[in-house]
Amino acid sequence: MTATSLRTSETELGRKRRARRIGRLLTETHPDAHCELDHANPLELAVATILSAQCTDKRVNEVTPKLFARYPTAADYAAADRTELEELIRPTGFFRNKTDSLIKLGQALVERHDGRVPGRLADLVTLPGIGRKTANVILGNAFGVPGITVDTHFQRLVRRWGWTTETDPVKIEHAIGALFEKRDWTMLSHRIIFHGRRVCHARKPACGACTLAALCPSYGTGPTEPAPAAKLLKGPRARDLAAAAGVDPDLVPVQAVVAEAP
Ligand code: SF4
């Protein structure tokens, strides 16, 4: 059954049941799923998330130890020397805009929130550099408030699975939120993003080495033969991912195991 035919024939209850089965398989497939931006508090996560725009999490994690040591508080960002801050975050790209956001974020936190990152969506989205996606990342991972993170991977995968036909991120967030228990939202988001980075890639998904193949209406978007599919798996658990899908782990090339999941 294709994603298009599913949209017309599947009942709402049927979709919810299938979504939850996929959700359970994702839990088994990615036991290591977590927020891939290193952080120790809400401010660090807010800063790392701003830096992650158009940049890999790995690159952000290379920059942040020095940054967090130099600017431990919101007041430090508010009073930052622009040139020095730009130099520190330059490797993450778009460093002038990001510097602007970090200084303005620091100022807004000092002026309106006593220098602390607020724990409410309504407050977070009013802060410079923080949109709804970033706010949900912060809520889910720094405050333990369930949040759905609709990034590019999330949008692509939920569409491939026929979970929703919405294209607007906020509508997608509400549609997926209705399929799952609220308490599962944050980890579900991590697992979907993990699957998008390691298995279900934008151009060539590893369908022939995917644990979700039997439940996925988009199976066949990428190669279905084990050997070419296994070559597409990425990340340190690429061999485990192959085995979980019933594919010989030896088909996974060594470079896949060390490759950075984008
Ligand atoms: S079967 Fe293919 S399209 Fe479906 S989730 Fe797996 S990799 Fe993605």
CATH code where residue 234 lies: 1.10.1670.10
112 and 187 assigned to the same domain: no
Cα(208) to ligand 1 centroid in Å equals: 8
* Ligand 1 within 6 A of CB of 160: yes
Number of domains present in the structure of the chain: 2
- Is pLDDT above 90 for 233? yes
Domain CATH code at residue 46: 1.10.340.30
Q: Is 194 in the pocket of ligand 1 (CB under 6 A)?
A: no
20 and 128 together in one domain? no
Counting from 1 in the atom list of ligand 1, the atom nearest the Cα of 210 is 6
- Ligand 1 contacts CB of residue 150 (under 6 A): no
Long-range contacts from 52-61, C-beta under 8 angstroms, 24+ separation = 52/92, 53/94, 53/98, 54/93, 54/94, 55/92, 55/93, 55/94, 56/260, 56/262, 58/260, 59/91, 59/92, 60/92, 61/36, 61/37
Shared-domain flag, residues 23 and 110: no
Instruction: Choose, from 76, 100, 123, 151, the residue flagged as catalytic.
Output: 151
Assess whether 184 carries a catalytic annotation.
Answer: no
Residues 130 and 175 in one domain: no
pLDDT for residue 201 is more than 60: yes
Choice from 153, 216, 241 to test ligand 1 binding pocket (greatest atom count within 8 A of CB): 216
State which ligand 1 atom lies nearest to the alpha carbon of 217: 4
Mean pLDDT value across residues 165-184: 96
Q: Residue 130 has what pLDDT?
A: 94
**Within a domain: residue 36?**
no
205 lines ligand 1 (CB under 6 A): yes
Q: Please indicate, yes or no, whether residues 177 and 128 belong to a single structural domain of this protein.
A: no
Q: For ligand 1, say whether the CB of 223 is within 6 Å of any of its atoms.
A: no
Residues 83, 189 share a domain:
no
Is the pLDDT confidence value at 87 over 70?
Answer: yes
55 assigned ligand-binding residue: no
Pair (138, 156) in one structural domain: no
Q: State both tokens at 117.
A: 């990152």
Is the pTM higher than 0.85? The answer reads: yes
Tell me the per-residue pLDDT of 57-82, one tens digit each, with 9 for 90 and over.
999 999 999 999 999 999 999 999 99
Under 8 Å between Cβ of 125 and 131: yes
* Annotation says 240 is catalytic: no
Q: For residue range 1-39, what is the model confidence (pLDDT) as tens digits?
A: 555 556 557 899 999 999 999 999 999 999 999 999 999
Q: 27 and 138: one domain?
A: no
User: Per-residue pLDDT for 202 more than 60?
Assistant: yes
Band (255; pLDDT cuts 50, 70, 90): confident
Cβ of 212 less than 6 Å from ligand 1: yes
Q: What is the pLDDT of residue 1?
A: 54
- Measured in Å, residue 127 CA sits from the centre of ligand 1 at 36
> pLDDT band at residue 132, thresholds of 50, 70 and 90?
very high
Is 35 assigned to a binding site?
no
Please list the alpha-helical segments (H only) found in the chain: 3-9, 12-29, 42-51, 57-70, 74-78, 82-89, 95-113, 121-124, 132-142, 152-160, 169-177, 185-198, 226-230, 238-244, 254-258
